[in-house]
């Protein structure tokens, strides 16, 4: 998706979601949909681009819990993802992988879907048509979606009877637009329903900073090295506030049931895992929505470094202070309260308390930095620490530019 301008250098990113209901009318899942422009995308890669963008936006711009709560998310996959040519950067806990009806079934695709099912991913067959070759996936599928608007309903008796031979499969009646179609779903006992007669898709929109394209390329390069340099990877992520937030949101998708909460970029990287960090980075390069305004990056990085520099004065952890500076700085750029942004991440209690209430030692760090940025010098002279922060953040951005020129 090519995000629209928000008017202040930030971007507006979107994701669509259409509710999927059970027979009692309760929402049990959402299908996630691409919403955006394809103007600059070559025709041959539009489906892959749309899939990548939906994943990135849902998991790293909004956070999957923000999009779906604890409900399942159905995500359309193209051949590249199903066959394993492109990675899935998330686990199977909250997603259903939809096999598009346009995907040709061959040995490579069937083997890829088999691997995904064996790894615990739920598989759905989208817009199923008997005779398409997709019926060979019945043994792997958890859902089969039947189009009751434009699909051939003349042979539903045979199709449903064949599917019912596989007790692991639930039927999803999709594209329901009339009372007659709803009645048809009832007649065949279809467990799940989706369509305009029940709910139109909803579009979620959020203002966002996009990670620098150069940082993403630098990250992919570092992750592709024969020997993983964890300090280098953490440094790259920490030096781009938007990239840091994406990693934090990605950590949210694996935080459920995890006993720990993150208080530094390094902990977020460890929680997500280098394998998934590598996969997210590859998708973000594929997505390639361009960089955020450099002045925003410079401002947020300077604030984060200043927080890190003065943390020891208040007995706070420097890594946690840096993270608090990133989150509060990006919140300011986006024009939302720090407390609202903090709710999107699995933060350690001390970090969350600082961002939501200004409490604790980290809260004191943020208060001192806020006062200095407003010109209220107060008790502490932060000028030397501020100048160091400016030099550091400028060098961080210059390093990306030098990488591009190399």
| 74 and 168 part of one domain | yes
pTM: 0.61
Contacts with 9 (C-beta within 8 Å, 6 or more apart), sequence order: 292, 293, 295, 296, 333
Q: Which of 182, 205, 228 is the last residue of a domain?
A: 205
| 187 and 70 part of one domain | yes
| 53 and 69 part of one domain | yes
| 144 and 188 part of one domain | yes
List, for residues 325-351, the tens digit of each pLDDT value.
Answer: 888 888 887 788 888 878 877 788 898
Q: Which residue matches tokens 């990548």?
A: 52
| 198 and 262 part of one domain | no
The mean per-residue pLDDT over the stretch 76-91 comes to 84
pLDDT at 292 over 90: no
Domain housing 314: 212-405
| 19 and 130 part of one domain | yes
User: Is residue 289 very low, low, confident or very high in pLDDT (cuts 50, 70, 90)?
Assistant: very low
Structure-block tokens of residue 366: 């943020």
| 230 and 177 part of one domain | no
Q: Which of 205, 237, 271 is the last residue of a domain?
A: 205
| 180 and 226 part of one domain | no
User: Is residue 405 very low, low, confident or very high in pLDDT (cuts 50, 70, 90)?
Assistant: very low
| 180 and 264 part of one domain | no
Strand partners, 204: 15
Helix (H) or strand (E) holding 325: helix 318-334
| Cα gap 144→207, rounded to integer Å | 35
Report the pLDDT value the prediction gives residue 7, as an integer from 0 to 100.
47
| Cα gap 128→134, rounded to integer Å | 7
Residue 120 — left, alpha, or beta (φ > 0 → left; ψ -120 to 50 → alpha)?
A: left
Helix (H) or strand (E) holding 46: helix 46-56
Report the pLDDT value the prediction gives residue 360, as an integer from 0 to 100.
94
Contacts with 365 (C-beta within 8 Å, 6 or more apart), sequence order: 307, 310, 311, 313, 314, 316, 321, 324, 354
Asked which of 328-332, 361-365, 379-383 is least confident by mean pLDDT, the reply is: 379-383
| 172 and 56 part of one domain | yes
| 36 and 184 part of one domain | yes
pLDDT at 141 over 70: yes
Report the pLDDT value the prediction gives residue 151, as an integer from 0 to 100.
82
| 182 and 146 part of one domain | yes
User: Is residue 294 very low, low, confident or very high in pLDDT (cuts 50, 70, 90)?
Assistant: low
How many structural domains does the chain have? 2
List, for residues 110-130, the tens digit of each pLDDT value.
Answer: 999 999 999 999 999 999 988
Q: Burial letters for 215-249: b for 16+ Cβ neighbours within 10 Å, e otherwise? A: bbbbbeebbeeeeeeeeebbbbbbbbbbbbbbbbb
DSSP result, 152-218: --TTHHHHHHHHTT-TT-EEEEES--SHHHHHHHHHTT-SEE-STTT---EEEEEEEPPPPHHHHHH
| Cα gap 324→63, rounded to integer Å | 18
Q: Which of 159, 180, 205 is the last residue of a domain?
A: 205
* CB of 285 closer than 8 Å to CB of 274: no
Average pLDDT of the chain?
A: 81
* CATH code of residue 132: 3.20.20.450
């Amino acid at each position: 998706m090519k995000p629209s301008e928000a008017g202040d250098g930030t971007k507006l990113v979107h994701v669509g979601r259409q509710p999927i209901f059970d027979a009692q009318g309760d929402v049990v899942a959402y299908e996630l949909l691409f919403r955006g422009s394809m103007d600059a995308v070559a025709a041959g890669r539009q489906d892959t681009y749309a899939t990548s963008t939906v994943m990135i936006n849902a998991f790293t711009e909004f956070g999957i819990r923000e999009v779906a709560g604890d409900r399942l998310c159905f995500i359309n996959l193209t051949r590249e993802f199903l066959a394993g040519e492109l990675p899935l950067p998330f686990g199977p806990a909250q997603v259903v992988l939809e096999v598009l009806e346009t995907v040709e079934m061959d040995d490579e695709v069937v083997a890829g879907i088999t691997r995904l099912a064996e790894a615990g991913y739920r598989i759905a067959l989208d817009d199923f048509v008997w005779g398409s070759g997709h019926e060979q996936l019945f043994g792997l599928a958890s859902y089969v979606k039947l189009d009751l608007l434009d699909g051939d309903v003349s042979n539903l008796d045979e199709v449903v009877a064949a599917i019912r031979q596989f007790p692991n499969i639930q039927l999803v009646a999709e594209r329901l637009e009339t009372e007659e179609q709803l009645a048809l779903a009832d007649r065949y006992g279809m467990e799940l329903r989706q369509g305009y007669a029940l709910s139109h898709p909803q579009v979620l929109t959020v203002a966002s900073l996009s990670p620098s394209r150069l940082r993403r390329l630098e990250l992919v390069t570092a992750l592709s090295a024969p020997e993983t340099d964890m300090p280098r990877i953490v440094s790259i992520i920490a030096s781009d506030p938007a990239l840091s937030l994406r990693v934090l949101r990605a950590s949210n998708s694996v935080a459920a049931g995890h006993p720990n909460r993150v208080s530094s970029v390094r902990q977020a990287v460890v929680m997500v895992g280098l394998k998934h960090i590598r996969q997210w980075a590859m998708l973000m390069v594929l997505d390639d929505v361009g960089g955020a305004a450099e002045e925003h990056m410079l401002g947020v990085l300077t604030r984060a470094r200043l927080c890190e520099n003065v943390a020891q004065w208040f007995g706070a952890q420097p890594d946690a202070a840096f993270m608090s500076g990133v989150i509060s700085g990006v919140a300011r750029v986006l024009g939302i309260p720090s407390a609202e942004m903090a709710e999107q991440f699995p933060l350690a209690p001390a970090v969350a308390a600082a961002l939501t209430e200004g409490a604790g030692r980290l809260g004191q760090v943020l208060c001192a930095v806020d006062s200095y940025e407003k010109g209220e010098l107060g008790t502490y002279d932060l000028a030397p620490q501020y100048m160091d922060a400016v030099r550091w953040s400028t060098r961080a951005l210059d390093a990306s530019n030098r990488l591009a020129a190399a």
